[in-house]
Structures are given as structure tokens and as C-alpha cells.
């Protein structure tokens, strides 16, 4: 990861008050989405803010109702990859 992206992630970790207020992963994702933090950056910010591992952060990201579009894209891409690997 380049220095600029690392700095942006650190700046976005200002979401700490949102997490500290109620420890609600959906509320955190709502906040991040609202400030334009999406995808891998949102997962990385979640890891920093919550102090969790990648798997937990991805779970928070993909289970948040506001991330339904990202979840649908991820599921479709995964299914397409699985079909391509099975020859179907």
C-alpha cells in the first residue's frame, strides 16, 4: 500500500467516535459509506477502528444493510468464478 493510501486510511479512522458510541458495525458502515469510504478502504478502516482482524472487518462490511450492493456484486463475482472453475 502506498503512503498516500495509508494516510487516507489513517485519516478515515476518525470514525472512532461512531464505533465508540455504540459498537454497532452497521452504524460504522453507514458512517463510512456516507463519507465516501467504500470497498477495501472501508474494510481497512474498520480493522483500525474496531481493532479486529480482516475476517471480522469483512463480515461487518458485507453484513451491513447499507452495503447490499457491494454484497450482491461480491456474491455474483464469486459465483461466476466458481462456475468458471467447475466448467459449468
Asked if pLDDT for residue 19 goes beyond 90, the answer is no
Asked if pLDDT for residue 23 goes beyond 80, the answer is yes
Task: Say how far residue 84 (Cα) sits from the centre of its chain.
Answer: 26
> CA 9, CA 66: separation in Å to the nearest integer?
20
Residue-wise pLDDT tens digits, 25-76: 999 999 999 988 999 999 999 999 999 999 999 999 999 999 999 989 988 9
Cell numbers 455504540 label which residue? 22
CB atoms under 10 Å from CB of 18, counted, come to: 18
Residue 21 has, within 13 A of its CA and on its CB side, a CA count of: 10
Decide: pTM greater than 0.75.
yes
Q: Residue 19 corresponds to which cell in the numbers above?
A: 464505533
Sequence-separated (6 or more) residues with CB below 8 Å from residue 83: none
Q: pLDDT category, 88, cuts 50, 70, 90?
A: low
Amino acid at each position: 500500500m502506498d503512503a498516500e493510501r495509508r494516510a487516507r486510511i489513517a485519516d478515515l479512522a476518525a470514525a472512532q467516535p461512531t464505533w465508540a458510541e455504540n459498537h454497532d458495525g452497521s452504524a460504522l458502515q453507514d458512517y463510512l459509506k456516507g463519507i465516501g469510504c467504500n470497498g477495501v478502504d472501508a474494510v481497512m478502516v474498520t480493522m483500525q477502528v474496531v481493532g479486529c482482524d480482516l475476517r471480522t472487518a469483512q463480515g461487518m462490511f458485507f453484513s451491513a444493510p447499507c452495503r447490499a450492493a457491494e454484497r450482491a456484486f461480491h456474491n455474483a463475482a464469486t459465483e461466476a468464478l466458481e462456475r468458471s472453475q467447475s466448467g459449468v
